[in-house]
Structure 1
Amino acid sequence: MGTPHRTIPWRLPVAMGLLLIALAALLAPAQTTPPASGPANPATPVPMVPGVAARQATNVAIITIHGEIDESSDGSSVMATSVQRRLDLAVRSGADAIVFDIDTPGGGVRAVLRISSMIKQCPVRNTVAWINTQAISGGAIIALACREIIVNDPVIFGDAMPVAADPIRGVSPIDNEQILKKLLPPLVADVRDSARRFNNSFGAYVRDEYLMQALIANDVELWFVRNKDTGERMCIDRAEFELLFPGQTTTGPVRLAGAPGTSGPRGPTVEGAPAGSSKLAIIADVLSADQGQLASSRPVLSSADAGRWEVLAKATDGTGAAVLGAEDMIFFGLAVNAVAPDGSVVPIRTDKDVADFFQSTYLKRLDQNWSEGLVLFLTSFWVRGLILAVFLIGLFVEMTHPGVSLPGFIALIALAAFIAPPMLIGMASWWEVAAILAGIALIGIEIFVTPGFGVPGILGLILLFGGLVTTFIPQGGLFPTTQEAQSNLLQGMVTVVLAMVTAGAGFYVIARHMRSIPFFRGMILVDAGEEPVEPMLRAMAGDEDIGVGDEGECVTPMRPAGRVIIDGRVVDAVAEFGYIPENSRVRVVSATPFRIGVELISEPPASGPDTHG
């Protein structure tokens, strides 16, 4: 007998071949473009700028930096932590280029410098700032930390001068020398380091150090000049202008407008800084030392250079911190967008434009997750004020109408939403939470246990108000000595007071119109056969015909809150002393529009053994 064997069906090798083809198709890089975040314009492609092959990337990650950059007193920041998380994810995932989609008015100095440091230390060197559509103050500093900058159009860039902001005085320049000595050195050092890193990496003096300092100081006067022989461009101060162009007028149209409201007096010449800046003169020792920074490649000018340079524009006139638009950023060598034949900037508007800019295959957006966005939303001053008003109204309804429960539950949720986010970012600590809870407890004692405006009520109000206000002050700022801490204290007090005023208006509306508000009518439970809602709201509506000395009978146990029937009407009341059993006779000892207090007259007769039959 021959060895038996089975014939392999023809379908098996065919199926295996199809499977291998499918696997090969999946493993091959798909030449597709990512979806655009907005409508792309095929008529205006974004070509590569010639000579920058190092920009090309297969995998591009976009990290969004949108909205104000938050910061607590210890330097912690939700935004900075979020950027670090997403930056680490992009690096681990093998991104060849990382784009920072910037649309921010700036924020805390330490948080901004922390993000700038992250970018400079990132192992992916191909970092690009996409200004879309504003990079003001700290946003400009973050953008300069990137290897290159691309822009949408229109954009606003610059005005990075430190300012003070509070709800009363608004935004104003900081003129205190002691504060400026603390704030200016790290800012100036960072932008100057960013410019030198860029110039060293490209082997040419492109980003001007003086122009970078004009973004921060509000009194820098500069001219933009070009070397006739080499084509090199740079900004020069008044002293250098008089050296290169003796006898020529220093007046003329100014290219860059100063930020409104930031003008300052003129100052002396400082080594390493533009001449005439009084702000930079405050930190002259720091600028002259220049320790720990890359060497500057800025050309050193002398009288022998007269006639070799030409003026392209008067850059700034020293009346405010410099602010640039899209064409300005191209003109001064900050942005690397392509330029159309008519001289206009080719804007980067969509994700597709970004992909074309890098000639990339894959592009992925890394936005803030929902929890980071929620914390930022809940820690904004106006949102916290609204939450506080809801908390106070819920607390009021629960304390003046015991047993309803739903207002108390709403107040508890609002209190958690008010306290938890600040604790996560270091703006609140446990003692502040304890002060708030102790204040609520003392107010409850004043209302239910020891009626009358006495010590518990006053102390409770003080603790509640103090605890609420101090949640607006970052940890370590209990005794504010800096302008920033004082601003936080003022904002906290204004927010709490406004919330209390809003809650007070809510108290009045609820007390007077609760019968007609469907939400409150529907949330009160009544026993079967009992008149619904109307009697239970009389205490809150201010029944003027119920007064001290009236007598009635408990229809529920008083522990201490409950209900009593007086003159045929069921009203909410509170036992002034201890527990009162159901069906006991009681007398009204206090009556206000919001509260009726009763005392025991006699308990119900005890049920004895049956003696009949």
Structure 2
Amino acid sequence: MPVLMMMLTAWLVISGQSATDTNLTVPAGRQSDSVAIIDIRTPIDSITSASVKRRLEEAIKDGADAIVFDLNTPGGEVEAMLDLCHTIKQQDEILTVGWVNHQAYSAGALIALATEEIIVTDGARMGDAAPIAAMPGMGLMELPTAERAKLEAPLLTEVIDSARRNGYDEKLVQSFVAVGFALWEIESLDGSKRRFIDANEYVEIFGKKPPIQRLRGDQPKDASTAPPLDAEASEMLEAMQEIPSDRTLPEMETSANWKLTGQIVGQEELLIVDSESALRTGLATQKISSMKELMGYFGAAQTTEYKEHWSEHLARFLISWPVRIILVVVMIITFLIEAAVPGSGIFGGIALVCLGLLIGAPLLIGMAEWWEIVLILTGLALIATELLVTPGIGIIGLLGVTSLLVGLVSLVVTADLGSQEGSQQLVTTIAAIAVSLLAGLSVAWWISKKTGKLWLFNRLVLDAQVGMDSNLVELNQFETQPEDLTGCETKAETDLRPTGKVRIRGIIHDARSNRGWVAEGTPVKVVNRFGEELEVEPLDVPPSTKESPDQ
């Protein structure tokens, strides 16, 4: 029994020593009792940016000591990525770590670089962050040289800032973004230092051109010693930096203490690193492939995962480009059909549902601006006023259409209009609206001709009739009618919303109230006629002694 107690005591002491040693191996700056994990596992867009910000605020409020961004993304929108990088770099009071958990391409790679440390899973890959243009429905498009350089500038500015903040090689990270950054890796003979240099720097150190080891296409076999960026571009990028460069290179006198390891990226390539090369180049600090290893990396007692809300998943679907364009098209077409063939309310209901989804999805996650919604609602109100209250004025309807279209375009176009992405979204949105207007008017006209109800089109051309002689207008409006029903009094056969039905001498007629909603059974009087539709107004006094229309 004493022997057993001694063995048990010894085991407890050894176990406690092991745990203590494990904790001691975690640097003080990394030691975190509570670690929050925020996953980014979708293409990066404005929804991602809003979601990550929300989850980051929740984690900080819950008392997290470190934030891990669990990355497995193909990339995404430039504006959203830059917004996220800025948010991450503002977290001065909490450690941020990028966990490349399978892949972090394009925007995902730049988000990883924005964190203070990068860890990788076995087989992880990151890089290839060159800007590309993608037109909805048309796929990827090649950028002109000038446009490409314009888009590269903010990305190069971003990665250089990340490198200087977090201790990465700034030449190495620039090769993620732009071609032309052919780089060679050199290592000190004792293996303690590594540098990544271009051909010009290689000549300055070793007095000769570097060997070309990564050929592609018609690339010259002799290395170019021209700097990757011209002097003007380099000066511009440097002027945008808040932190000065501390990058140092070996002198030619000490070149004998260095050796060439190999060419790491070619002249016409973008850098992509796997988990092993990320560790070797100093981009990643450790390989972490499980939650247990992650907790050990921080010496953490607990981890908490912060997931996207269901509302954010729904909003991402609803604000996706195909869905938004479809909603705009359906809304415009059904609105025009309802205006052309009023009464049922089905098409108007569909239009309102589409409008609600267009506005509601951004509102759900706080992305819609109040003035966009005001413009849309004001536009609808002005259009309704033009059609129902003051037909023929014209200017009110024009202001309404303009307000509605500006609000819709602003709501759908999320990128900066000064960017290539914003320009593409603007062109696509305007084209979709134009096509939907044409389709809606065509369908509305066809239905109107089939049903004989031309109320909308009579309203649209009413202002042209105002300038005509009143006798000619009256003749033109009523010459095909068997009887002038103006002045007849009856009751609303159905609710007038403001359209509905009235019965005159046993015949059901389409009618529209000129005073808005009129309840069923309300006495009304015929005051005008447009085609097959009667314009009526509610009577404020009991019906006159004129012959009852129902007798």
1:277 matches 2:228:
yes
1:549 corresponds, among 476, 481, 486, to 481
Q: How many residues align?
A: 485
1:62 matches 2:31:
no
Q: 1:163: Cα distance to partner?
A: 4.4
Match of 2:159? Answer: 191
The letter for the 1-side match of 2:146 is: N
1:223 matches 2:184:
yes
1:493 matches 2:461:
no
Match of 2:193? Answer: 232
SS of the residue 1:220 aligns to: coil
Unpaired stretches in structure 2, ≥5 consecutive residues: 1-21, 455-478, 547-551
Unpaired stretches in structure 1, ≥5 consecutive residues: 1-47, 72-77, 200-206, 270-274, 339-346, 514-536, 541-546, 609-613
Match of 1:561? Answer: 499
After TM superposition, the structure 1 stretch with the greater mean CA deviation from structure 2, 244-253 or 564-573, is 564-573
Distance 1:561 1:113, change over 3 A: closer
Give distance in 2, aligned partners of 1:267 and 1:281: 19
2:59 corresponds, among 90, 111, 115, to 90
1:301 corresponds, among 233, 247, 250, to 250
SS of the residue 1:283 aligns to: helix
Q: 1:56: Cα distance to partner?
A: 5.4
Structural mapping, 1:36-115, within 5 Å = 53-54=27-28, 55=30, 57-70=32-45, 79-107=48-76, 109=78, 111-115=80-84
Q: CA contact under 8 A between 1:439 and 1:462: conserved in structure 2?
A: yes
Q: 1:175: Cα distance to partner?
A: 3.9
What's the CA shift string for 1:266-309, capped at 9, x where partnerless? 9997xxxxx5324x64422245568641552x442233344433
What's the CA shift string for 1:514-545, capped at 9, x where partnerless? xxxxxxxxxxxxxxxxxxxxxxx9969xxxxx
1:354 matches 2:304:
no
Match of 1:214? Answer: 175
Q: CA RMSD in A?
A: 5.0
Distance 1:132 1:494, change over 3 A: farther
SS of the residue 1:354 aligns to: helix
Q: CA contact under 8 A between 1:576 and 1:597: conserved in structure 2?
A: no
2:284 corresponds, among 335, 338, 342, to 335
Q: CA contact under 8 A between 2:340 and 2:448: conserved in structure 1?
A: no
The letter for the 2-side match of 1:308 is: N
Match of 2:11? Answer: none
Match of 1:598? Answer: 534
Q: 1:458: Cα distance to partner?
A: 5.9
Match of 2:104? Answer: 135
Q: CA contact under 8 A between 1:49 and 1:337: conserved in structure 2?
A: no
Give distance in 2, aligned partners of 1:500 and 1:325: 50
SS of the residue 2:179 aligns to: coil
Q: 1:111: Cα distance to partner?
A: 4.8
Q: 1:221: Cα distance to partner?
A: 0.8
Give distance in 2, aligned partners of 1:108 and 1:228: 43
Q: CA contact under 8 A between 2:199 and 2:224: conserved in structure 1?
A: no
Give distance in 1, aligned partners of 2:108 and 2:275: 15
Give distance in 2, aligned partners of 1:171 and 1:238: 31
Match of 1:364? Answer: 304
Q: 1:563: Cα distance to partner?
A: 1.6
The letter for the 2-side match of 1:219 is: G
Give distance in 2, aligned partners of 1:163 and 1:510: 44
Give distance in 2, aligned partners of 1:222 and 1:380: 39
1:145 matches 2:120:
no
SS of the residue 1:562 aligns to: strand
Match of 2:8? Answer: none
The letter for the 2-side match of 1:561 is: T
The letter for the 1-side match of 2:182 is: E
What's the CA shift string for 1:533-580, capped at 9, x where partnerless? xxxx9969xxxxxx9526698744757522256998856444689999
Between structures 1 and 2, the one with greater helix share: 2
SS of the residue 1:215 aligns to: helix
Give distance in 2, aligned partners of 1:193 and 1:463: 41
SS of the residue 2:250 aligns to: coil
SS of the residue 2:177 aligns to: coil
Distance 1:563 1:194, change over 3 A: same
The letter for the 1-side match of 2:500 is: G
Q: 1:233: Cα distance to partner?
A: 1.8
1:318 matches 2:267:
yes
Give distance in 2, aligned partners of 1:291 and 1:391: 47
Give distance in 2, aligned partners of 1:181 and 1:110: 14
Q: CA contact under 8 A between 1:214 and 1:220: conserved in structure 2?
A: yes
Distance 1:437 1:311, change over 3 A: same
2:146 corresponds, among 176, 191, 206, to 176
Give distance in 1, aligned partners of 2:543 and 2:156: 86
